[in-house]
Amino acid sequence: MTAKGHRGQRMLDSGKRRAAQARLWMGKGFAALGIGVALLGVTAGTARAEPAIPDDTLVLRLRQADPAHGERAFRKCRLCHKLDRGVSGSLGPTLYGVVGASVAGDSGYRRYSEALRTLGGLWTLERLDAYLKSPKSAVPGTSMAFVGIADPAERAALINWMNAHSDNPVEY
């Protein structure tokens, strides 16, 4: 290669470096912007009294739910739960038929928390969605030691999967 060629190559290299630095800087800028937007979202979120998501989006999510996704996601629950009729898990109640059923309705499970026992009512789709999103905030005092699932599609897939293991599946 000629000297000129080398110089050309060097100029090219430094050009690439500058471009890379610019990309890095822009990346940081965007990250900072992202954090700003996220913070804004959090403050806006705490200011709202009611969740902005109407229930029909849950029905949409349920209709679009993929059974294979639900089965996969249920691995997170299997440590404590079973989906067999009348069989409590090692640590938690059975989830067979739980969709649409009475809260704390597994008569074979003796270790329900006071919080769940006194909650009353049914496991509606909305309630289940909220409980799976964040057990502790949906039912303060619950003994379900599970952090929750942030992804709305994954929660829907799980509810749909549980609903498929039931004598009376809920229609949606």
Q: Which residues of the shown chain bind ligand HEC in the complex (CB under 6 A)? A: 76-77, 79-81, 91-93, 95, 98, 103-106, 112-113, 115-116, 128, 132, 142-146, 149, 158
Q: How far is the CB of 134 from ligand HEC (least distance, A)?
A: 12
Residue 67 near residue 164, CB atoms below 8 Å:
yes
Nearer to ligand HEC, 65 or 92 (CB): 92
Q: How far is the CB of 112 from ligand HEC (least distance, A)?
A: 4
Structure tokens of 146? 């599970």
Residue number with the smallest Cβ distance to ligand HEC: 77
Structure tokens of 50? 């009611």
Between the alpha carbon of residue 6 and those of residues 11, 16, 95, the distances in Å are 9, 15, 70
Nearer to ligand HEC, 62 or 116 (CB): 116
Closest CA to 99 of 132, 81, 131, 123: 123
Nearer to ligand HEC, 59 or 113 (CB): 113
Residue 86 near residue 167, CB atoms below 8 Å:
no
Q: How far is the CB of 59 from ligand HEC (least distance, A)?
A: 18
Nearer to ligand HEC, 62 or 77 (CB): 77
Nearer to ligand HEC, 59 or 115 (CB): 115
d(CA 169, CA 172): 9
Q: How far is the CB of 68 from ligand HEC (least distance, A)?
A: 16
Written as one string, the DSSP assignment of 10-37 is: HHHHHHHHHHHHHHHHHHHHHHHHHHHH
